[in-house]
Structures are given as structure tokens and as C-alpha cells.
Amino acid sequence: MPVVYFEQPNKNELMQGDVLERTPELNAILEEVHPYYSDEKNRYFMVLTQTCDLVERQFGSVKAPYVVLSPVRVLSIVLDHLIAECGKLQFNCEVPILRERSRNNFNELLERLLNNNDPHHFYLNAKDTVLENACVAILRLSVAIRAPLHLNTCKNSKILQLREIFQTKLGWLIGQLYSRVATDDCDLSELSDKKRRITKDIAVWAADENFEDLERSLLEQFPNHSENAVDRASVAKLIKSLPTKRKKLSARIGEIVRQMEPEVDKSFNYRASGFRRVIERIGADLDNIKNSDYPDEERSQKFDQLKNTLDIIIMQEFAKSNTDSRQLLQRLSSRISSDSEVISLLSR
């Protein structure tokens, strides 16, 4: 992680970005003038007022009539809001259940947050600091207290001080400027590892194709979930037991072949021909398209292409030299390509 803080904060002056602990004196001020902000979820407070307005003049006065503070909350609270933006399943589980396709969106939001490129938040890494946990300042929330009366209380509550470049970054975020201050981002490997750990622990991720089946199965198996949250291990086990699109497609095509089995056996033995290997190949192509970053329109086109070439793949794999086999394969390909369940699976 980049070096964000000074090793020792200077308690003789107050600066933009200073982190204040909840001392009894600061708590008393909040309870008196802004009781809403005295909530325990606001673990710390960050100074938002510009440093130049907090420089003490003669007789200890400062230019700013108020010191503006932003509440600082633990990272998990902010992540809950990010999870809500991704659209979680409305089911009482110990961790949220999210669609797999929302993972990329969540990772993008998380990366912006961790690199302090999100204008609504300022991330505070807890490593090697007095912070108990990683925290986030909620910049869109603020509270003002009178500088002439409470400046010393703020200075005495100071526990962390940002380095100058990160004070500048904070000022940019607050001011909603149109240029980016070039602070160091996290090391890529460290950032990837941090995102991976957070993403893994924050939710249970379920494939889009199984989301509706998962919701139905959860409600059937855990009818009392609203009273007792279901543990993530049970949800993960249920997800693993659900058939994937690949398995469903393979099973359906197998059913179609079995329906034609007497006719198939007259021409060739499909079990020995590698037929199932072809179906697995089709399933792999489906997975590749599903997990790709293609736009929706391009993804749909690729599904259509796969559907249109399904008969060609089968013909190439199994075509025999005699006319009867070719005609049989054409009928089999036509049955598979026109089957409503196969079409539905390919188009999801």
C-alpha cells in the first residue's frame, strides 16, 4: 500500500484529512449539537475543512468559522451499500447471495474505493496504524462545529495525519474537480489479492443461469430463513448441487438421442462415436461465451452462431460414408436445433 499517513501526527495543528478519535470531549460536543452523528457506527471523524483555513493566527483564532467533520465507518458497512447496488437475492443468509455477473461491477467499485478514486468516500487502510479495522470516510455526510469553541478538542482527538499528497487528493474529492491528482495507487498484486479476499468473503456468488433455480430451492429447503439466517456453507452446497447450463444441455440432447435410439442404432453406435465429447465441447463454448465480457448484443449474436452451427459440428464429428447415416444425422441435427428446450438453454 502507498504511504498515506505520517508516522506521528502533529497535535499542535489541525489539517484537512486528520482523523479524530471519539474522545469524551468530542462525544459531548456531538451529543449536544449533532446527536445523530453520535451514533456508534461513526467510529472516527475526518476533518474536511481546508488546512489553510485552520492555520492559527494571533490569539489562536483561525479563518474558518466552523470545522467540518465527516463520519468514518468501518469498511464492512460501506461494502454493504456496494452489495446493495449490485442487486442481492432477497433471502436471509449470513452473507449476501449475488449473481456472478455482478462480480465485475462489484470489483470495479471496490477498486475505485481502495484507490481513493470514488468521490463519495475516502479509504483509510488500517495496517500499521491505531485504527482497529480498515475504515472509510463518508464524504457526502458532514457535520460542522464551531472552530473558536472546539478547535483544541479536535486537536487533542487527532490520531492520524495524511501526508500532503493525500491531503490534496482528499481536497480534490471534496471539491469534485475535473482532474485527477496523481497519487500512488496500490501495488497491482496487492490490490488484486485484497479484492480477491474481500470479494470471496463478502458474499456467496451464484451463476446467473442458476439464480432463479437457486432462489426456488432455497425457499423450499429453508422456509424459516426470515427467522434464522442460513449459513453460507449450506447455500454454497446447494449451489454446487444445481445443474449447470452445460449439464442441462448435455442431458437434453442425450434425451433426444435416446428417443431416436432404435433408429440411431441401425446406422451407428453413438456411444462409441465420441458423441458425448462433442456435446461437452458445445457446453465449453457456451461457458466461454457466458463468462466473457462481450456486450449483450454481441453475446446474443455469438449464441445464435453457436446454435446455427450445431448441426455442422455434429455432422463433422459423426458423418459416415453411407447415405443412410448422413440422412439420419441430418434428422438428428434438425431435431436438436429445433428443440424448444435446447433453444431456450442456448439463448439464456
Range of the domain at 53: 19-201
Together in a domain, 189 and 266: no
Together in a domain, 264 and 337: yes
Together in a domain, 290 and 196: no
Residue 74's contacts (CB-CB under 8 Å, 6 or more residues apart) are 41, 43, 133, 134, 135, 136
pLDDT along the chain (348 residues), means of 10: 82 94 95 91 94 82 91 92 81 83 85 89 92 92 92 94 92 65 65 81 79 83 84 85 75 76 56 58 70 69 70 57 60 77 70
**Residue 125 falls inside a structural domain:** yes
Alpha helical stretches, state H, the chain = 24-33, 75-86, 103-114, 147-157, 164-175, 188-202, 211-221, 232-241, 245-259, 261-267, 275-290, 296-308, 310-318, 323-338, 340-347
Q: At what angle do helices 340-347 and 245-259 cross, to 10 degrees?
A: 160
**Residue 217 falls inside a structural domain:** no
Q: Where is the domain boundary, 143, 175, 201?
A: 201
Q: Where is the domain boundary, 201, 223, 255?
A: 201
Kindly state the cell numbers that stand for 189.
498484486
Q: pLDDT at position 178, please?
A: 37
Q: Where is the domain boundary, 136, 169, 201?
A: 201
pTM of the model: 0.59
Q: pLDDT at position 95, please?
A: 82
The CA distance from 320 to 98, in Å, is: 47
Together in a domain, 157 and 253: no
**Residue 59 falls inside a structural domain:** yes
Q: How many structural domains compose the chain?
A: 2
For cell 454446487, name the residue: 240
CB atoms within 10 A of CB 13: 16
**Residue 224 falls inside a structural domain:** no
**Residue 13 falls inside a structural domain:** no
**Residue 7 falls inside a structural domain:** no
Q: Which of 302, 285, 294 is nearest to 347 (CA)?
A: 302
